[in-house]
Amino acid sequence: MRFGIDLGGTKIEIMALDTGGREILRERVPTPRDSYDSAVRAIVGLVEATEAKLGRKGSVGIGIPGAISPKTGFVKNANSVVLIGHPLDKDLSSALARPVRVENDANCFALSEASDGAAMGVRVVFGVITGTGVGGGVVVDGRVLTGAHAVAGEWGHNALPRPSVAEVQHAQDCYCGKKGCIETWCSGPALARLYEAHTGVGKALPDIVKAATLGEQAAVTELENFYDRLARALSEVVNILDPDVIVMGGGLSNIDALYTELPPRVEHYAFTTEAPTKIVRNKHGDSSGVRGAAWLWTEDEVAAGLAR
């Protein structure tokens, strides 16, 4: 039995998977916002309640909106600020009396889709999150690649490649402290901002996409710009990683045209590829993060008792 936990800004969700990856149980509780200790107690309580219901213990993997620093052992880069500066994996391991693995939520998404999702059975997977922000994760041979500083896959904070003069002139400040990051051009809020700047009218993302399908010229233009920028950004990933599959996640992954528009554009910008990189929609949707957290422990490790 393995447990995956998704620690989000508003809810903590747990999923129990059997050895074949089949969902056995799923529960969620609100995320405490008052303190780090409250968040730890909520996670521990959720695990203990789940084990009481199932009558079995399991391995524990957790996806968080941040990362554990290899240098300090503390959480960093988390939008749930109460986590920052704390050794979450060690504290949970102590409280639950077993090893606990904590990983970035985008990495968990990529691992889920590589393990039993849209990229199952391939060697190198790049998982893309395009929604409120732009993030990503890398999985090689079924293992998350975190890197020396736990920032592998964070392509959203690279600068937009091959910018036009207008893009240089209108580059936005990013919350990371840099300017003109991919996230400031290719996220959902960025697309809405650019459409409003073009038209003077604010619209939600689904309405912009719908307007484009109905032929509204401003919406068509902004979506074309979005496809081009996203393709430029992904071509840099292809040049460095050359993944077998790119799996799209997040709210913008629901734009059907992505899967026909992106492959030839990415091929155009990438370095002499022999065929378009395979770009697919995720299989598990919003469940990918919590499923990937469960897969942080492999079947062999669970069977060998390494997670107990």
Q: Are 65 and 293 in contact (CB under 8 A)?
A: no
Query: Which residue type is seen at 32?
Result: P
Model confidence at 10, pLDDT cuts 50, 70, 90, reads confident
User: Does 114 have pLDDT greater than 90?
Assistant: yes
Q: Is the pLDDT of residue 274 over 90?
A: no
| Whether residues 191 and 267 fall in one domain | yes
135 and 242 both lie in a single domain: yes
d(C-alpha 158, C-alpha 178), whole Å: 9
Same domain, 270 and 160: yes
In a domain, 194, yes or no: yes
**Structural domain includes residue 56:** yes
Give pTM, 2 decimals: 0.93
Residue 40 falls within a domain, yes or no?
Answer: yes
Q: Map tokens 């496809």 to a residue.
A: 227
At 11, which CATH number? 3.30.420.40
Q: What is the mean pLDDT of residues 150-162?
A: 96
* 143 and 276 assigned to the same domain: yes
Query: Looking at the 3D structure of the chain, how many domains does it have?
Result: 2
Does a structural domain hold residue 289?
no
Q: Are 138 and 272 contained in the same domain?
A: yes
Q: Quick one: 123 and 271 in the same domain?
A: yes
Work out whether strand 59-64 and strand 11-17 pair parallel, antiparallel, or are unpaired: unpaired
- Average pLDDT score, the chain: 94
Mean pLDDT throughout 248-271?
96
Strand ranges for 8-96 from DSSP E: 11-17, 23-30, 59-64, 67-68, 75-76
Does 287 reside within a domain?
no
**Whether residue 85 has pLDDT greater than 80:** yes
Of 33, 100, 27, the residue nearest 62 (C-alpha): 100
Question: Do both 164 and 278 map to the same domain?
Answer: yes
Quick one: 256 and 158 in the same domain? yes
Q: Looking at the structure, do residues 137 and 94 belong to the same domain, yes or no? A: no
In a domain, 143, yes or no: yes
| Same domain? 89 vs 135 | no
In this prediction, residues 47-73 reach a mean pLDDT of 95
Tens digit of each residue's pLDDT (9 = 90 or more) over 183-206: 999 999 999 999 999 999 999 999
What is the residue range of 180's domain?
118-282
In a domain, 215, yes or no: yes
Say yes or no: 173 and 238 in one domain. yes
Contacts 24+ apart (CB under 8 A), 258-261: 258/227, 258/230, 261/227, 261/231
pLDDT tens by residue, 29-52: 999 988 999 999 999 999 999 999
Q: Are residues 100 and 154 in the same domain?
A: no
In-domain check, residue 188: yes
